[in-house]
Amino acid sequence: MQLPDVERRLAGVRLRQEVGIPAELLDFSWTAGIWSVTVPRPAVDRMEYLLELAHHDGASEVVPDPANPRRARGAFGDRSVVELAGYRRPGWLDVAAEAGRRKALTIAARSMAADVHVTLWSPAGVDDRTELPLLVAHDGPEYDDLASLTTYLSVLVADGRLPPLRAALLAPGERDDWYCANNAYASALSLAVLPRLRLAAPTTRVIGMGASLGALAMLHAQRRYAAAFDALFLQSGSFFHPTHDGHERRFPHYDRVVRAVDGVLRGYPHRNPVPAVLTCGAVEENLANNRIMGRALAAQGYDAVLHEVRDAHNYVAWRDALDPHLTGLLLGVACGTFR
């Protein structure tokens, strides 16, 4: 990896990454007008990264790599990306399909004294009165914008690889509160949002999905309201546990999350276990707690499986795992089977 700087305007360059490269290997060295660094290949097929540029006046800034035009969009801005040997971009991204129809809903949630904003997506050519499965996605607008969720659904439904279904894209609101094992939010989702969605769109089964805190919130709701969901798709869940996640103690509502996770791990067989597919990046800090959660759910009667993917904690990783992992779950739910 190289960054030209003939006049040595920079005092230093350091690689910012989340794929497990040791800290002592991240500093660039300057030789003959070029900053460069060589790092071992991490256990991923693509790497998102930023550069920390140190200036001679003591200031620093973190920016995408000016020497690399390839970018990956994320919730906190663009990052540079390197696609390594073995990476395969999902084929469905390059297939044309009708975009489907959208309807905006605002649903009052008394338990939080707030509104939940939802975009209800339906595939092209489906009558509004037709009963269909409903995929309910936390961080739905971001999932759609950054992980192409409705593009995935449009293409696979049009190709016949998935049966027709609808998707409810839930805006996150006060995310760091709502999604942190918040009992009031779980009540709002299960007792206000889902019934309103069923009125707006005839529904057979409900599949809940989310990533990071969104995955935690979806599992928390299902544990408190056992009949609300028929299946779960949980990506890189923030299932914080002190054994592995003590570094997260400064995170808002950390203690509330830990109590909720501990309650699941210590739980008895659940009264309504459902199929649950988990995905997590092979180099994520969340991997250990996702492994523990996957085993706990399976032991409690859930038809649970964890898929470890060769990426990190980002929307492209979650996008790339939709097919085959969400595909398999949706087919299993539609056919009454799983796996």
CATH classification at residue 56? 2.60.40
Domain that holds residue 11: 2-83
- Regions of the chain with pLDDT less than 50: none
Q: What is the pLDDT of residue 261?
A: 95
* 63 and 151 assigned to the same domain: no
Residues 180 and 153 in one domain: yes
Domain limit, last residue, from 60, 83, 106 = 83
Tell me, yes or no, whether 291 and 145 share the same domain: yes
Per-residue pLDDT tens over the stretch 31-73: 999 999 999 999 999 999 999 999 999 999 999 999 999 999 9
Domain end call among 83, 106, 130: 83
Which of 22, 56, 83 terminates a domain? The answer is 83
Task: Based on the fold, state whether residues 242 and 115 are members of the same structural domain.
Answer: yes
Instruction: Provide the pLDDT for residue 213.
Output: 97
Number of domains in the chain: 2
Residue in 211, 235, 221, 18 with CA at minimum distance from that of residue 111: 221
What is the structure's pLDDT at 338? 61
Whether residues 117 and 237 share a domain: the answer is yes
State pLDDT tens for residues 211-224.
999 999 999 999 99
